Amino acid sequence: MATLRFDGRVAIVTGAGGNPSLGRAHAKLLASRGAKVVINDIGKDPDDVNYKDSASAEAIAAEIIAEGGEAIANTDSVATAEGAAAVVRSCLDAFGKVDILINNAGMCPIDDVDKVSDLDVMRTLGVNLFGTIWMCRSAWPHMTGAGYGRIINVCSGAMTGFPKLSIYGATKGGVFSFTRALALEGAEAGIKCNSVSPAAYTRMIIAMQEPGSKLLEYTRRTQPAEMVSPMVALLAHEECPTNGENFNAMGGRVSRTFLSETKAFTDPDLTIESLQEHISEVLDEDGSIVWVPGSVGAESELSAADLVDRASAG
């Protein structure tokens, strides 16, 4: 089996200044395989009370350089269009192009939906969802111009619903849908977009758990961040096998998450009562059909392209 390398490729990894962190692990793996890497991290958010220490893009870039790789540090915030543009500009200034974008930066407030502060709601949307959007928009014209690109966005299993993570989950659900749309938009230009829902021992997990907790120790032993990076790196490679998919990766275990639709109950004279009588048929998962990117319902005769054509015409 041939070794997959990234010689000649240039990658941006956001939120990569923490240690331990997923971004750091991704960046170091790509650099060890020949990629030139931009390490992006703001360091310390003055509004963040969860982290007592500061991340350091400079420190991670220095690690890579000391190990014989090529890297630069960038401290602009992805939460604004201007910041994201500055991240991409620093990449172009240093390395002349951007081939790979890994949108790893994120934050995760934990509380009941009515108790999360307004500030934390906006900050989470700003980093997790809008940060992903701004970075993709900034890198997009350079990738389409080159006819090549690989984008990996970070999702989370929390998008399926998790108590006290409603805001975080909402942002990750948005990233999931955004990634599927980008996969369709970029396909003809040679851009592939996928997402990864990771679980690993990171600064975020450490901040969320009480010191010495059994869960924290278990995560430290069994789920190092480096075990997520091979999935991310495969999606970042020119031989990336998928487009518009979401993968779960933790502790060496990899699986795929997908959307599906149950077989329909149909009644041209549908009423509340007839629906109540047949709701078990609507809920029955046997014979479910997978939604692929671009589908508008598994049994619909309309495709996403049909909707775009109709909107353009009308």
Residues in Cβ contact with 70 at an 8 Å cutoff, skipping those fewer than 6 apart: 31, 36, 37, 64, 95
Under DSSP, the state recorded for 188 is G
Which amino acid, 8? Answer: G
Q: How far apart are CA 237 and CA 192, in angstroms?
A: 10
Under DSSP, the state recorded for 303 is B
Q: Which of 98, 83, 86 is nearest to 36 (CA)?
A: 98
Q: How far apart are CA 91 and CA 81, in angstroms?
A: 16
Distance of CA 278 to the CA centre of its chain: 38
168 catalytic, yes or no? yes
Single out the catalytic residue among 51, 148, 168, 201.
168
Nearest-10 Cα torsion for 76, 56, 204, 237: 70
Which residues form the catalytic set?
168
